[in-house]
Amino acid sequence: MMQTMMNVLVAAAVAASGSGADVRPDMKKIVTGNGATAVLARVSDADRTWSGAVGVRDIERGGRPSPNGYFRIGSVTKTFVATVVLQLVDENKTDLDDPIEQHLPGLVPGGSQITVRELLNHTSHLYDYMSEPGYSTNRWRGEARFRSYRPRELLKVAFAKQLPDDGKWHYSNTNYVVLGLLVEKLTGNPYGEEVERRILRPLKLRHTVVPGNRAGVPSPHAKGYEPLPGLVDATRMNPSLDWAAGEMISTTDDLETFMSALLGGKLISEPSLKAMRTTVGTGAGFGYGLGLQAYTLPCGTVWGHSGELIGYLTFAFRSDSGKSLTLSINPSTRNPSTAEVMGVAAKVFCGASQ
């Protein structure tokens, strides 16, 4: 099966005018090096946009992946949720320094000492329920991948344990499950409806989906796989295990539009955007703001978020100069390395030759 994939002609489909940085060789190298079965990319600056795809749509049936294909965006969902929370801050329905106990009494252990800001930037020190066996959507779960979960069920798993008092930064999906419930409490609506009403419809993001319990990915899409060994089709799964921490589906075009609008100040106030871009150290290779990651390249900082959900990796980056890079990668027998991904980013944003 793998040999069939590697013998396929690696094809790039150009969907718009040329871009300043040709990332196709980098994309092809990731595929031929077994880092991906398919890679989708969109590169934009002030007046030029390029989008393309390499690899195969299906390792058994072949076919070219569409540059406009759908994919699971994983934790990039967090940036959408954080944006809604900051809009609610702008509407004076909450404050970043409000303790979560004020809005969701009795829900979070120690909630009187945990603020909305600390949930948004992962400094709450809440245990990540996805650290428990069988609760991570980044791992193969067999038939359990079609099970439905409710948010409070996930929190029950999270609150059964505590992190050690080590003074370190801890990324925790639990934070965004709590924030999803906060949005619902403050608005009276499901968090997904608020994402649609406040972000998707105003920006005309017609190819971005909050799937709920739906297991499929809209067409067109490249299949996502998991090595077990041998690549197993992991495309279909019920993403309710991620909920507000990572369930959404989108395209490179829609993600670029969203990040450009957000970082361009079109979705939240200037003070909220400043707060969003105020980062804490993580020791993980990036700074973390409020649902926003800051990556340091040789030529400066790029903003955005990464996401992982079995079969799919997503990277959505934008610089203050207006350049953007959105990548969707379907891992093969290995995940692409940080050097491979950031090498593409350096070429786009810095003009570095890789």
Catalytic residues: 75
User: For residues 128 and 123, what is the distance between their CA atoms, to the nearest angstrom?
Assistant: 12
DSSP 62: B
Can you tell me which residue has the tokens 């739906």?
A: 214
Q: Which amino acid is at 68?
A: N
DSSP 50: E
Q: Do 49 and 17 meet the contact criterion of CB atoms below 8 Å apart?
A: yes
Whether cis (ω within 30° of 0) applies to the bond prior to 220 is: yes
Taking the CB of residue 275, how many other CB atoms lie within 10 A of it? 18
Q: Do 35 and 227 meet the contact criterion of CB atoms below 8 Å apart?
A: no
User: CB-side exposure of 253: number of CA atoms within 13 Å?
Assistant: 18
DSSP 3-state percent helix, strand, coil across the chain (nearest 5): 35, 20, 45
User: For residues 140 and 311, what is the distance between their CA atoms, to the nearest angstrom?
Assistant: 10
Taking the CB of residue 149, how many other CB atoms lie within 10 A of it? 18
Give the residue among 117, 132, 127 at the shortest CA–CA distance from 280.
117
Taking the CB of residue 110, how many other CB atoms lie within 10 A of it? 14
What phi and psi, each to the nearest 5 degrees, are found at residue 224? Answer: -100, 145
User: For residues 127 and 238, what is the distance between their CA atoms, to the nearest angstrom?
Assistant: 23
Whether cis (ω within 30° of 0) applies to the bond prior to 229 is: yes
